[in-house]
Chains A and B, each alone.
Chain A
Amino acid sequence: MSASTGVSGPRSLPTTAQSERRQRIARTLTYSFLIAVAIVYIFPFVIAVVTSFKTEPNATADPLGLWPSPVSTTAFHDLYTGQDFLRWVKNSVIVTLSVTFLRVFLDSLAGYALARLQFRGRGLVFAAIVAVMAVPGVVLLIPKFLMIRQLGMYDHYSGMIVPLLVDAAGVFIMKNFFESIPVSVEESARIDGASIFRIYWSIVLPMARPALVTIFILSFQGSWNELAHFIISAQSSSLNTLTKGVAQLASGQLGSGNRYPLKLAASCLMTIPVAALFFIFQRRIMNVQSGALKE
């Protein structure tokens, strides 16, 4: 737009006014479109929150109503008392925390080894890890199931946790990050008398905080929301995680009627930890990255 004013010198005044109007219209259209898309995206979530505060008859009669009448917390109460909700929460917390912390540790160890240690077959190992990233998770479900059975971990926490402990993407991210750390920092630590593990633990890991935070979030979110793996690794309802429990609620196996408020109340509660995590770390991810690599 500024180009047209520059070229057509004497007529620049009317052109400017014109282009300004055109700009305003374009902006209005863009925003209208964006707002529409945003509503489409956010609407299911709003409905979920609203419906969780409805009574069952109200939800059935007016499923898309944006205001519950009357406002009721029965669904939450029922969740708390009636179902196995608390056990699901407990299972989810156990699995997610174990997976997240161990995964951050193991991914970074593997990433460091691949980035810095010289050993035979390093390239091959890395290529294999990258190749695993290309395999869709669903393909591996049955083989995983068979292996979990074989190893006697079926229907046990170990079967739910151990297979999730390392992920190719995490190793990949860590390796790339470690490679961006100047070698001289590690050489300096070597001369200062640090062993390889000490260099990893005291020097490299603290410097890799941005990458660690990324892995932490990805792992937390991934294992909290994981469903398929828990279906193939356990069957007893005492090992149900939130995802499995809510899925069973939603598929209507556990109750009569549609029970929308109950299901959606569970969904809403389930969303809170991941959402909270993102709010907490959103700023940190960006902040830490700047200046972390300054020598």
Chain B
Amino acid sequence: MAGITLSDVSKIYDDGTRAVSDLNLDVQDGELVVFVGPSGCGKSTALRMIAGLEEISEGEIKIGDRIVNNLRPRDRDVAMVFQNYALYPHMTVAENIGFALRMRKVPKDEARRRIEETAKILGLQEHLRRKPRQLSGGQRQRVAMGRAIVREPHVFLMDEPLSNLDAKLRVQMRAEISRIQRQLRVTTVYVTHDQVEAMTMGDRVAVLRRGVLQQFEAPQRLYEQPANLFVASFIGSPAMNMLDGRLERNGDGMVCKIGSASFVLPAEIVKDRPALANHVGKPIAVGIRPEALDQSESQNGDTGVLRGRVQGIEALGSELLAYVDIEAKPVLVEDVLEGIVDMEAAKDIAEIKGDADGARATVVARLDPSARVHPDDVLELAVDLRRLHFFDLDSGRTIRA
């Protein structure tokens, strides 16, 4: 068993593009770390550098105590699961799983025992004699896992292993991979573009964007304390509502204005975030998670609520999402758009939204399923002020200390 350390790792292609820039992070022994980010963020490249399939342009990668920069993939003692499974189509399941053992000249008896053990862990015993093309997608995925497990390597590397499966199977395999990883306690790096996968599977999650590490934290902290606009928008579904706001002093305290509404910030919020004082009078981005909005009971006028017309609802059974059109300016900087949609699409959306007057925003509220809300209702949304997020519009960073 071994941890992985990346020190100032960069990947620079011949044409000068930096796919990965000065990546620093360490994966603890036995930990499952997820690399997540939109397509083109460098997560797969980083993984392939750890695997040895991609040369390291700058920096140093250590697995355990060994610097592996110049080691061949097979000498790094890593096993990898590919997105398209990369099974050997002419070999049976048993031969597929046993190939690495054959390459390592493991004695036949032991190899057979290990293949059978692996098949048992994955429920593949009955399929050992089949060829990959006779298997379903989920079974092929298991074989790919089996090939990694049987090696008993120091490190598992998984490159979007579930993205070729249908939604239901993906949820099931997600749990299964987590279970196997916990059972074997093998250090794992898992790459995905799906933030739900990242949140549910990762002990810690590294969010990447354009080759740069944005934040590396446990999922819950990532959700509750995003480091910047991008992470805040990327993590969480539906995405965090981002509204233009302005801070004003109010005696000893502080008031946050969003559109025509103003909110008196609780004292402890202001105390926790001394840097807020530096932004008084300046525009900032205010982030509100959908669950920090609730139907206001009190109907007590303008302060402390966002009022707007319901545009649409999505009843999901366990919750009800209400899309409410309010009078406030949405934050449409690239950091936010890129977090919500793919990069290519982001530019188009920015253009479209830029044409609008920009004085109205649609916010999503996560309401109780029993809430009686209908399209075109006028809704008052109470804001949980303790769960507001504040971001500097220039740097995109969260405003804290």
Q: Is the CB of A295 within 8 A of B84?
A: yes
Q: Please choose the segment from A98-106, A124-132, A189-197 that sits at the chain B interface, where 4 or more of its residues have CB less than 8 A away.
A: A189-197
Q: Is the CB of B86 within 8 A of A190?
A: no
Q: Which of B82, B85, B87, B89 has the most CB of A within 10 A?
A: B89
- Across the interface, which residues of A come within 8 angstroms of B80, CB to CB? 187-188, 191
- Taking a contact as CB atoms closer than 8 A, the residue among B74, B133, B140 that contacts A192 in the complex is B74
Q: Is the CB of B74 within 8 A of A291?
A: no
- Taking a contact as CB atoms closer than 8 A, the residue among A184, A192, A194, A203 that contacts B84 in the complex is A184
Taking the complex as formed, is B100 at the interface, i.e. its CB lies under 8 A from any CB of chain A? yes
- Across the interface, which residues of A come within 8 angstroms of B99, CB to CB? 189, 192, 194, 202
Taking the complex as formed, is B168 at the interface, i.e. its CB lies under 8 A from any CB of chain A? no
Q: Is the CB of B84 within 8 A of A191?
A: no
Taking the complex as formed, is B88 at the interface, i.e. its CB lies under 8 A from any CB of chain A? yes
Interface string of A253-295 (1 = CB under 8 A from B): 0000000000000000000000000000000000000011111
> CA separation between A291 and B132, bound complex, in Å?
10
Q: Is the CB of A191 within 8 A of B78?
A: yes
Given A187-B53, A192-B100, A193-B100, A292:B89 Cβ within 8 A: yes
Residue of B nearest to A181 (CB): B89
- Across the interface, which residues of B come within 8 angstroms of A207, CB to CB? 88-90
Taking the complex as formed, is B104 at the interface, i.e. its CB lies under 8 A from any CB of chain A? yes
Interface string of B104-141 (1 = CB under 8 A from A): 10000000000000000000000000001100000010
Q: Is the CB of A192 within 8 A of B82?
A: no
Given A187-B53, A188-B82, A191-B80, A294:B133 Cβ within 8 A: yes
- Taking a contact as CB atoms closer than 8 A, the residue among A187, A190, A198, A295 that contacts B87 in the complex is A295
> CA separation between A188 and B97, bound complex, in Å?
12
By secondary structure, the A interface counts as: helix
Q: Which of A185, A190, A191, A194 has the most CB of B within 10 A?
A: A191
- Taking a contact as CB atoms closer than 8 A, the residue among B52, B132, B147 that contacts A188 in the complex is B147
Taking the complex as formed, is B79 at the interface, i.e. its CB lies under 8 A from any CB of chain A? yes
Residues of A that sit less than 8 Å from B by CB:
182, 184-185, 187-194, 198, 202-203, 206-207, 209, 291-295
| Residue contacts A-B, CB under 8 angstroms, 27 given | A182-B84, A182-B86, A184-B84, A187-B53, A187-B73, A188-B80, A188-B82, A188-B86, A188-B88, A190-B72, A191-B73, A191-B74, A191-B78, A191-B100, A192-B151, A193-B100, A193-B104, A194-B74, A194-B99, A194-B103, A198-B103, A203-B88, A206-B90, A207-B90, A209-B90, A295-B84, A295-B140
| Other A-B pairs, 8, CB within 8 Å; known A191-B74, A192-B100, A193-B100 | A187-B86, A189-B99, A190-B74, A191-B79, A202-B99, A209-B90, A292-B89, A295-B84
Residues of B that sit less than 8 Å from A by CB:
51-53, 72-74, 78-80, 82-90, 99-100, 103-104, 132-133, 140, 147, 151
